[in-house]
Amino acid sequence: MKHFRDNAASKSGYGQTRGADNHASTHTTLGATAQAGAQGVALWQQLTGVAMAFQSIRGGQSGTAALAGVDAAIRPGVQALLFQALRQAGRAEALRRQLATRTPPPAADALLCVALALCWNPEEAPYEPFTLVNQAVEAAKNHAATRAQASFINGCLRRFLRERDELVATTDRDPVARWNHPRWWIDRLRKDHPQHWEQILRVNNTHAPMTLRVNRQKSSVAQYLKALDAINLGANAFGEMALTLERPVPVQQLPGFAEGWVSVQDAAAQYAAPLLLQGMDMSQPLRVLDACAAPGGKTAHLLEMASANVRLDVTALEIDATRSTRIDETLARLGLHATVLVADAARPQDWWQQHCGGARFDAILLDAPCTASGIVRRHPDVRWLRRESDIAQLAALQTQLLKALWPLVRPGGRLLYCTCSVFRAEGDGQVQTFLANNTDALLLPSPGHLIPGKGDTNGSVPDNLRGDHDGFFYALLQKSIH
């Protein structure tokens, strides 16, 4: 698929999607069937919306932007089908190449590939393959951009149904078709994680769980499990404040969500706040900076960890003014307060003296912009939008942020560097270079790279990450006193 340069989920500015935080909108549809999201809407209408969004992503839009252009009445069903199509896009394009010697016009190619992605594996197809084929042809006939290719699309799909086993077997030899990731992505994972690269790719093609963080200032895991049981919604608890729902639901259906009882946050992201604060003297007021803070999930978690007699003075930075409003909204729902600044974390000279009085911080959380390679199952468009060159670009930005923020840590204080990436250039490689260039930095016990999925896969997963979690990287750095 065609890559692009300005993915909203991972752009090189600091207003990136904090992929593991606050997935309220995503989870209104994930895990539900496409049928449930579009009652009374013909399947061909949904497929038309999916194909248009698919074509937009090929042209460089993020999945979020592409879906924003879909009629709200059919958007849930379209999103469910689009995500499944994106997870099988490598296979679909390989099959299309077998079926057509020439690439059809963009709109027809998008519709054809969407149909192939959804029906190639009958065991995972959201509808019977024959139904998908019939409705894809109907979609072609009913849209001006594809009407002229309706017969061509019909011929390709009917041939696929007849020759499915042979065509699939042929594409099995193509790693992009088998793993549904760009070849460079597969090669890099094999190099970075020789023992776990296949697991990472498999997990990336599955649905992400809906994990909640219970607000300890308003409830407990035991109390919230009872509230969920009262509405017949099962959940599995793990760690101190985390639980995973047995099935995703819209956040409006969660007991006490509007009142701030819980937040949607992946288990790996929930490790940031306790890791940063563990072992610190909580009897004294602490000055904490959350750099690159939007949408505010980790800022809120830091504040939730403070008891009535512990003072956390938290400053949340966000370079994007529009995204900074999401921090305010998150904190308001939870009844929490932080100083929210629209500022560039890489330019302390613009905000540190003026808004922070030039006082150094006890702790800094740097959830740095990255490729989002650890949250691909939540954003299946990312794999097709990324370029390999983006890794070096973003690694340079991460280096810049570390260099700018380290002087703001007081002696004896700490900085937690994390990314929602599984690429070592954005994790272990970044930190090793930093340690080599900063002799006053000590690496404290840290999880390092967390492999997405379930269980302990790298030998250092903490107890509160025994559940299903995203790919992440954590390094806790302490500044020497002398």
Longest CA–CA separation in the chain, Å: 76
Measure the CA–CA gap between 201 and 20, rounded to whole angstroms: 18
- Which residue in 113, 156, 356, 420 is the catalytic one? 420
Is 113 in the active site? no
Q: 212 pairs with which residues across the strands?
A: 243, 264
Q: What is the DSSP letter of 407?
A: G
Q: 414 pairs with which residues across the strands?
A: 363, 478
What is the token pair recorded at 443?
């690496």
Query: For residues 216 and 274, is the Cβ–Cβ distance under 8 A?
Result: no
Local structure of 345: helix, strand or coil: coil
Local structure of 439: helix, strand or coil: coil
Query: For residues 241 and 270, is the Cβ–Cβ distance under 8 A?
Result: yes
Query: For residues 439 and 386, is the Cβ–Cβ distance under 8 A?
Result: no
Q: ∠ CA(36), CA(40), CA(46), 5° rounding?
A: 70
Helix (H) or strand (E) holding 96: helix 89-99
Count CA within 13 A, CB hemisphere, residue 221.
15
Q: 361 pairs with which residues across the strands?
A: 409
Q: Is 286 left (phi over 0), alpha (psi -120 to 50) or beta?
A: beta
Measure the CA–CA gap between 16 and 14, rounded to whole angstroms: 5
Measure the CA–CA gap between 122 and 315, rounded to whole angstroms: 51
What is the token pair recorded at 378?
């939540």
Sheet holding 242-245, edge to edge: 235-238, 242-245, 211-214, 262-264
Instruction: Please identify every residue annotated as catalytic.
Output: 420
